[in-house]
């Protein structure tokens, strides 16, 4: 069992929600799970198939086939090609593509607030990239993912 799992699910939930609120907070489609519309929460719970001791924390809900759910144990993604699930222990780091950053700053339309693409660097597998909503919620989500990677290493 990795060190991040020494914290209770409730403690992990509180810590991640605090990081999210302090570094970005809710956006139109990226929110603390409990702040999502009821139909979005129901869809995520149905498709993510949480375990008995796993709690939903934060989600981006772009559409029924394009979403990301961070739980107290995993990062789950709904994509056109199907469901992807990654345990916290596999997350090495969360970054954004350098070309994406340069394009965001070159566009002049919002600069860093127009960033919307995150890359999850996995320990023993290919990186995973996904698109989420731009703006402050993007940075909250990114910081939550970086926190998960650092918790795993503590």
The DSSP H or E segment spanning 124 is: none
- Which pLDDT value is given to residue 7? 83
The DSSP H or E segment spanning 101 is: helix 98-107
Residue 80 CA neighbour count, 13 Å, CB half = 2
Q: Which residues of the chain have a pLDDT value below 70?
A: 1-5, 98-114, 152-154
Tokens 């509180």 found at: 14
For residues 120 and 139, the answer to whether their CB atoms sit within 8 Å is no
pLDDT in tens, 9-27: 999 999 999 999 999 999 9
Treating both helix axes as pointing N-terminal to C-terminal, what angle do 9-23 and 136-153 enclose, rounded to 10 degrees? 140
């Amino acid at each position: 069992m990795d060190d991040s799992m020494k914290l209770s699910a409730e403690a992990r939930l509180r810590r991640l929600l605090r990081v999210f609120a302090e570094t970005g907070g809710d956006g139109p489609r990226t929110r603390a799970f409990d702040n999502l519309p009821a139909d979005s929460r129901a869809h995520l719970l149905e498709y993510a198939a949480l375990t008995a001791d796993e709690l939903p924390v934060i989600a981006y809900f772009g559409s029924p086939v394009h979403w990301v759910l961070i739980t107290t144990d995993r990062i789950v993604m709904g994509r056109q090609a199907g469901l992807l699930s990654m345990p916290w222990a596999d997350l090495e780091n969360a970054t954004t593509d350098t070309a994406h950053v340069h394009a965001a700053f070159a566009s002049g339309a919002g600069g860093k607030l127009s960033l919307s693409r995150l890359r999850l660097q996995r320990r023993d597998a290919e990186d995973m990239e996904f698109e989420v909503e731009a703006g402050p919620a993007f940075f909250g989500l990114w910081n939550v993912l970086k926190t998960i990677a650092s918790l795993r290493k503590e």
